[in-house]
Structure 1
Amino acid sequence: MDETSADSVTLDMLREARETVSRSPLGVINTPMIPWSQTTLPLSVSCNIQIKLENLQRTGSFKIRGVANQFARRPKGGRFVTMSAGNYGKSFAYASKHYGSQGKVVMPETAPESKSILIQSFGVEVERVPTSCLMNVVNRCVQDDNMTFLHSYDDLDLIAGHASLGMEVLEVLPEPDVVVVCCGGGGLLAGVAAAIKLSGCDKTRIYGVEPEGACTMYKSFTEKKPVGMDTKSIASGLAPPFAGRLPYELCQRYVEGIILVSDEEIKTAVSTLYRAGLVVEPSGSAAFAAIDNNKIPDMEEKNIVCILSGGNIGKDELANFPD
């Protein structure tokens, strides 16, 4: 990773990754994009919004895209370790089982217990630790157990795989005015932004959305370098302890800005989406929360894409959200 820069990401590379993802034996889905106007969702601004339903993706989130490209470029039957709050870990475990690899997921203690159980059901070991200790445990597994680290967001192959989502968007809406994407470590945002901008959509404005309590990319933009923080949010999938170096470089190049939403706005977004028949987890609802609270600049009469990035939320968790 250290030698990799934003210059390494080319349109040809992203197109090749798109082919790899679409042919993957993991069964990655070209998810539907539906007009906001065909739902019962409220809209206070006059604009045309398309919703990309990654909550319907195989394993329940966009993460399978990057994982499909990562595993296609690694030896089968390897021994891999990663860190994840849930969604990447689920896709990683699913791929590990398919390819006959030995896997371990290091999870923050704040992640829902249900996600740990689900990951373990694929035959992958889970170790839950304080967020500040994630990388220490990963490094121990690499050094002591001779495992290969697969990064859950700061990895070239992963980002290229996520770019397939951006290319699917352009097949439906060739020149969007605005694209709104959730942002944790920045892998999805970087991949989607690179795909759209390198495809020639120079005028498209791309915004990342982060929780106020886990705004590592926002702070990185402010300090002009990747930074970490003590993150805390109901959207645990958007709360890694630091922004990725390569995602930061790509976001600096291709992203208009980072929008912040509160945990209360995320909770309301989950409930609003659920009432409209869309099961979306807190981390997957951030982009919608930003649009629903009119936080995206200049939306009037624009063609906008909102990515709902994941739907891994259980009935027990949904019960904690307002009706």
Structure 2
Amino acid sequence: MLRARKPQGQLVITIEQVAEARARFGDHVARTPLLRSHSFSRLSGRDVYLKAECMQRAGSFKIRGALNVVSRLEGAPVVAASAGNHAQGVALAARIAGSPCTVFMPTNAAIPKIKATQDYGAKVKLKGRNLADAVEAARQHAEKTGAKFVHPYDDELIIAGQATLGMEVVEQLPEVGTVVVPTGGGGLLAGTALAVKTLRPEAKVIGVEAAAAGVYAASMARGELVTDYPRNNPTIADGIAVTVPSPHVWELVQRHVDSVITVEDSQTMAALTLILERSKLMVEAAGAVGVAALLEGLIPDDAPDPVVVVLSGGNIDLLMLGKVVRHGLQASGRFAQFTVHVPDQPGSLAGILDAIARRGANVVQVDHHREGLDMPFGQVEIEISVETRDSGHAESIAKALAPYLARGQ
């Protein structure tokens, strides 16, 4: 297990400040449910609870930190930059507090997230091709207009607001043994760890990052903050695709976090699919990484039960959801695709379908290609999508089709 060195900084956020942040929420922030998961307990061999922050207002934990900042500004204008959840959290917080709000988003931001941010009352400006460009535009706007720039994670008030989630977990499950937290910029991890370790020092706190953006895991391994982590690595967990770490977060991570681990996209997609299927909860990929780590057996053995896994958000584009579920089913052996080459003559397709049917699989799609392919004369390519029970079932079908499978399958 990776452990950090002793902290060197002087950042102090007290549990009293966390309680004061929660007092500011009134009834504007939901106390999200903590749900015992029999399915994930059985699959992982642990005693598992899910903190359903995907049911929070604006669809994620971001409203907690944002409202703790914006509620102090007495209606002064605010500006933020985000591709998704932070934008919606700040926009909603600004509407609650009566502050004019401008949000800069990359030009490739998902249309549903742009629309949701606008619906919360923010003025959205599309700027740049990535989040870094949008952040720079937001900072320039703040300097020009005097609006308060609300950082998504490198801010003490943001961290104190996110810490209210950790306080809730301990109140809802006083005997909590381990808390698993999705981690991007790290504000949620730092705040949750601070609250949990203050109220229940013997509990473990574990951060989970996407492997493409594992900056805090790398920092823990190196024993110092990594500031040159590779950027712009693609990941399905775009909500935590952060590779610019926070000194404030790092200081608290060293002090309160037991380990930070990473998961691959295939593991995340499989976990997201299972959450939808077993828990009936709409969770985005970034919010599913903790469950992915749990199911892959990555939670350290010395992390005690009961284990609380935070589902940090549920803002997923429905078009993306279909793609993710398909990939998740394929990763877990519940869906398979085969490309076969057969003679272009009557009965060839029927023979392939019969071989699949005799093994109890359900064909959901068939694509038949004769033209435009670099294939020998008299051959045809067929792409077949099949519902399968598990990876072993898919392998048995692949074995049956082996004489016909296209090269590389």
**Structure-2-length-normalised TM-score:** 0.72
What are the within-5 Å matches in structure 2 for residues 224-243 of structure 1? 224-225=224-225, 227=227, 228-231=229-232, 232-243=234-245
Which is bigger in relative contact order (C-alpha 8 A, separation at least 6)?
A: 1
Alignment of 1:93 with 2:91, yes or no, is yes
CA contact (8 A) 1:185 1:216 kept: no
CA contact (8 A) 1:166 1:196 kept: yes
CA contact (8 A) 1:280 1:308 kept: yes
Give the counterpart of 1:249 among 251, 266, 271. 251
- Corresponding residue number in structure 1 for 2:36: 35
Q: Match for 2:12: what amino acid?
A: S
- Corresponding residue number in structure 2 for 1:190: 190
Pick which of 98-107 and 177-186 moved more.
98-107
Alignment of 1:318 with 2:321, yes or no, is yes
- 1:156–1:219 CA distance, 2 compared to 1 (3 A): same
What are the within-5 Å matches in structure 2 for residues 131-142 of structure 1? 131-142=131-142
CA contact (8 A) 2:104 2:134 kept: yes
Alignment of 1:285 with 2:288, yes or no, is yes
- Corresponding residue number in structure 2 for 1:173: 173
Alpha-carbon offset, residue 197 of structure 1: 0.9
Separation of aligned partners in 1, 2:204 and 2:108: 33
Specify the SS of the correspondent of 2:16.
Answer: helix
Alpha-carbon offset, residue 308 of structure 1: 0.6
Separation of aligned partners in 1, 2:303 and 2:186: 27
Alignment of 1:215 with 2:214, yes or no, is yes
Alpha-carbon offset, residue 95 of structure 1: 2.0
Separation of aligned partners in 2, 1:286 and 1:128: 29
Q: Please identify the structure whose Cα radius of gyration is greater.
A: 2
Separation of aligned partners in 2, 1:42 and 1:175: 16
- Corresponding residue number in structure 2 for 1:270: 272
- Corresponding residue number in structure 1 for 2:363: none
Q: What's the Cα RMSD here?
A: 2.0
Specify the SS of the correspondent of 1:44.
Answer: helix
Alpha-carbon offset, residue 299 of structure 1: 6.4
Specify the SS of the correspondent of 1:34.
Answer: strand
- Corresponding residue number in structure 2 for 1:12: 16
Query: 1:146-169 CA distances to partner (integer Å, 9 max, x unpaired)?
Result: 322111111111111111111111
Alpha-carbon offset, residue 250 of structure 1: 0.5
Structure 1: state its 5+ residue gaps. Answer: none
Separation of aligned partners in 1, 2:141 and 2:196: 37
Alpha-carbon offset, residue 295 of structure 1: 0.7
CA contact (8 A) 1:225 1:248 kept: yes
Q: Match for 2:299: what amino acid?
A: I
Separation of aligned partners in 2, 1:194 and 1:241: 22
Q: Match for 2:33: what amino acid?
A: P
Q: Match for 1:9: what amino acid?
A: I
CA contact (8 A) 1:43 1:292 kept: no
- Corresponding residue number in structure 2 for 1:261: 263
Q: Match for 1:14: what amino acid?
A: V
- 1:270–1:190 CA distance, 2 compared to 1 (3 A): same
Pick which of 172-181 and 202-211 moved more.
172-181
Separation of aligned partners in 2, 1:285 and 1:115: 19
Alpha-carbon offset, residue 127 of structure 1: 2.2
CA contact (8 A) 1:85 1:107 kept: yes
Q: Match for 2:293: what amino acid?
A: A
Q: Match for 1:28: what amino acid?
A: V
Q: Match for 1:295: what amino acid?
A: L
Q: Match for 1:313: what amino acid?
A: I
Q: Match for 2:306: what amino acid?
A: N
Alpha-carbon offset, residue 41 of structure 1: 4.2
Q: Match for 1:280: what amino acid?
A: V
- Corresponding residue number in structure 1 for 2:356: none
CA contact (8 A) 1:212 1:260 kept: yes
CA contact (8 A) 1:18 1:163 kept: no
- 1:99–1:311 CA distance, 2 compared to 1 (3 A): same
- 1:254–1:47 CA distance, 2 compared to 1 (3 A): same
Pick which of 169-178 and 47-56 moved more.
169-178
Q: Match for 1:274: what amino acid?
A: L
Alpha-carbon offset, residue 212 of structure 1: 0.7
**Structure-1-length-normalised TM-score:** 0.90
Pick which of 113-122 and 290-299 moved more.
113-122
- 1:31–1:6 CA distance, 2 compared to 1 (3 A): farther
Alpha-carbon offset, residue 293 of structure 1: 1.0
